[in-house]
Amino acid sequence: MKEFWPIGTVVKILEGEAAKFMIVGYFPQNEKGEQRDYVSVRYPMGAYNNNVYFFFNHEHIKEVIFEGYKSEEFKAFLQIMNRLVAQEEK
């Protein structure tokens, strides 16, 4: 089971320079139809351009700088996400 980071979490990823990214969603598909774990925007700029989103997987996170809000709603959502991921892995 993956421990997905909540929306608003700011991370550094393994690839690229020391840029920071804020998680804004889950399971995006790139133009090739490949699915990733997270969709993010550069931090602190945010969504300054409609097509400046970055996709990456959980294992690409090098460092968590700030953890987003984990509400009860997020915890319930996380259980649903993990069930869906487990079904896909079968």
Q: What per-residue confidence (pLDDT) applies to 65?
A: 96
- What digits encode the pLDDT tens for the residues 18-52? 789 999 999 998 888 899 999 999 998 888 776 78
20 contacts: CB under 8 Å, gap ≥ 6: 10, 11, 12, 42, 43, 44, 65
Taking a C-beta distance cutoff of 8 angstroms, is the pair 57, 35 a contact?
A: no
The pLDDT score that the predictor gives to residue 62 is 93
Q: Residues 75-86: pLDDT tens digits?
A: 999 999 888 888
pLDDT surpasses 90 at 73: yes
Is 28 within 8 Å of 36 (Cβ atoms)?
Answer: yes
| pLDDT tens, residue by residue, 53-67 | 899 999 999 999 999
Query: Is the pLDDT score of 1 beyond 70?
Result: no
Q: CA–CA separation, 86 vs 79, rounded Å? A: 11
* Distance, CA of 23 to CA of 88 (rounded, Å): 22
| Euclidean distance between CA atoms 88 and 63, whole angstroms | 27
* Entry pTM: 0.86
Per-residue buried b or exposed e for 77-87, using 16+ beta carbons within 10 Å of the residue's own CB:
ebeebeeeeee
